[in-house]
Structure 1
Amino acid sequence: MRHARRPRTQGMVLVAVLWIVAAISLVVVGLVHSVRQEARVLSTQRALAVAGGVGDAAVQLALRQLAVLDAPPTRMLTWPLTYRQTPVAVRVMPLNGLIDLNAAGAPLLTALYEVAGGLPRPEAQSLAARTLAWRAGSASARAERFEAVEDLLRVPGIGLDLHARLAPLVAADNGGSSGGVNALAAPLEVLEVLAGGRPGIAARIAAARDAGDAGIDTTDLPAAFLESGAVQRYRIDARVPLPDGGWLHVAHHVHLGTEPQARLPWRTFHTEQWVAPAQAPVS
């Protein structure tokens, strides 16, 4: 009888061993997956750090080119540069190509909220009125000034999603705006706002500007939205390629001009970075 039970006991031991092996296998698979994930994260962080350094260097190269120009540019420029064998597209944009939150009037703010923000016109008009009211203050609140683009979130009715759509198109201080926008310095998205959401007009002006054409026709844009002239503040945006096919944008907001005790003929007052993912192939 004692010998008859031995195969059953051995079978139970075998099952227990198999369970242990299976459990260990799951642990090993989990560890391998975790290590691979950490390796990918570290690789991505390293790629971003390297691209950030390349972008900062490209911005400095562009600033040196700006410093030797006979006159400050009054339109957007794009310079192809190379740093450590990495091609970088650098865009130099006078800040009056953006919509000045401290100077824009109700019609331009309405167009901004409607075209770029995607709000129905009545809501856009209401939000523009609240923005002006926030700037002007009231009997119970002092007048406010946008010190940074993030201050838009302090205006009632502007949340994170709307702010994210508006932030690339606006500035808190573009260096002396009278409330209008320099169309020759404006990115395509701002031109679409000025054109009332008509992308064909915006694309035509941007293409002529980027081709270096003189005497560009902007009569399709409301004259009240426009201004021209030179400013001392610029956004220098370096677009650096990433290994996954995306792009890292490194942007410096700078004030050109010699200041007391300054070592360089420019001063950087704001920097930012963001990643643009690789575009999906068109089928």
Structure 2
Amino acid sequence: MDTKRFSTTRLRSGHGYDDKPGAVNSGFNYRLQGLERVKSRIVESEGRRWMIWSPNSSQDPFYPGGAVPLVSGFTAVELQQRRCDGHCGRYDAAQNPQPYAKDMPWLGFVKRAGERTAGEAEYETVMSAWFEMGDRGQVEETHVSLLLTRNQELEALIGHVLPQIQGSFPALCSQRPKAPRPQDIELLKGIREFEEALDRLVQIHRGIREKQAWYTLARLRVETSVYRETSSNQATTLPVSIPPADDAFLGAWINGVEETTVEWLLHVARLPCFVETLTIGQLWKTPKK
């Protein structure tokens, strides 16, 4: 018997992706050293044409717009907004690149699903983690164990790096993602209905992905401590050309972000960065063939 049933109406997975992008921040009026288009495309919205492009990434990301608060960590998702696969639509920070957020700068360092490595149970699909037993089911015990181990490993890594950056980046430390807790993961063992398991697992997976992303950013801050975005001598500390992004990460939309932060993201962190511009006739260099 198929136990993958819902007691409530669910949206289809792609719901909302065809909607208008809402608020658009086209602020990107500075020129950085080595800036050129690596990849670009033209899109139309509300009768206007936009260029979507990246100065360092070969990804072809979806632009969510900025009208609705993004969904991250253990954000409560309204019942009527839940989808049949558990994800939260275009504003889901574990699925799509979001506008860079000062209060959550680690979100762009969430890995893309196809870039998982061995032991990263947070990228397992809910379907593969669900074990059917008659007319009900449960989350595979091995998956719960893997999640507990993964969460513990990340907490240990975070605990090691925290003292190294607390003095320089207190806000980053105080705002770090803390969920899921071990007891949140343990609760999965008692769930027998697929609908409840889906919502809880997606939430836990998202939380662990964000812990990994936070640790990645924190480690970068430690390893690149010689560079500061407030440096008055950046021109001599940064290379002329922009290095290719590490496309294992989702990346971020950088419209409206301070120039010094963008320089750090591009040159030092190598985070995939994306821009949307209304005027497409600007004198950017064309992509190399």
Q: Which structure exhibits the higher relative contact order, with contacts defined as CA atoms closer than 8 Å and separated by 6 or more residues?
A: 2
TM-score (structure 1 length as normaliser): 0.25
TM-score (structure 2 length as normaliser): 0.24
**Greater percentage in strand:** 1
**Greater percentage in helix:** 1
Bigger Cα Rg: 1
